[in-house]
Amino acid sequence: MRNLFLLIAVFSVIFLSSCSMLIKRGTRLYKEVEASGVVYDAIIVPGVPLKNGRWDSIMKARVLWSVYLYEKGITKNIIYSGAAVYTPFYEAVAMGLYAQKLGVPANHIFYDTLAKHSTENVYYSYLMAKQKGFKQIALATDPFQSMVLKAFTRRRFASHIQHIPVNFEIVKNMNHDNPMIDSMIAFKPTFTSIVSKESLPTRLMGTFGRQIYFGPDKKLGPL
């Protein structure tokens, strides 16, 4: 029993230390972006499943952060990315509906409804940015996902993708209500869960970007 408590204590310390490092990284990156004065053509916001027609805390944090970055003039546009993966609602569309309720004009919101994994969120949004003529883009997601995607965004894309992780202190202090959306706008009638279509190993391959073809150079060209 004593060894069990010791093991729990060790893992707790490691977990809290990791969280602290991620938060500090996010704060540093945001300060750098703010100080630089760069205005991004678009930020990429990876999707989160809409559960029972309502957002959860993760989707809420990502949407609120994207709205904040838009209102601060740090980005001109927002690309929400996410197919109907685990629930019958397009993640991107649901997030965009919340953003509109919070004041972002519809003509400054773009949707990628193809991505099933976090790596695909970046891939398809990058292709959309290229199609729209966006030259400066950033990834705005929670600190953990940002760190997970750090190497992927650096290696696989010729143009720089700046990371602007969610600053939870800012989000916590934002004045906002819990807006109601018509979730049926995001509903996919022909939905089949990814769990029924892909095995766990296949889904893991997707998570690591193994289902994406980058061409002979293994990197997408510049924006």
pLDDT digits (tens, 9 = 90+) for 26-81: 789 999 999 999 999 999 999 999 998 999 999 999 999 999 999 999 999 999 99
pTM higher than 0.85 = yes
Quick check: 12 pLDDT over 70? no
Which distant-in-sequence residues (6+ apart) come within 8 Å of 204 by Cβ? none
Domains in the chain: boundaries = 25-207
Residue 11 has pLDDT above 50, yes or no: no
pLDDT band at 2 (very low <50, low <70, confident <90, very high): very low
Residue 27: which residues within 8 A CB-CB, separation 6 or more? 167
**CATH H-level superfamily of 25-207:** HUPs (3.40.50.620)
Tokens of 37: 């004065």
pLDDT in tens, 166-184: 999 999 988 777 899 999 9
24-34 confidence digits (pLDDT tens): 887 899 999 99
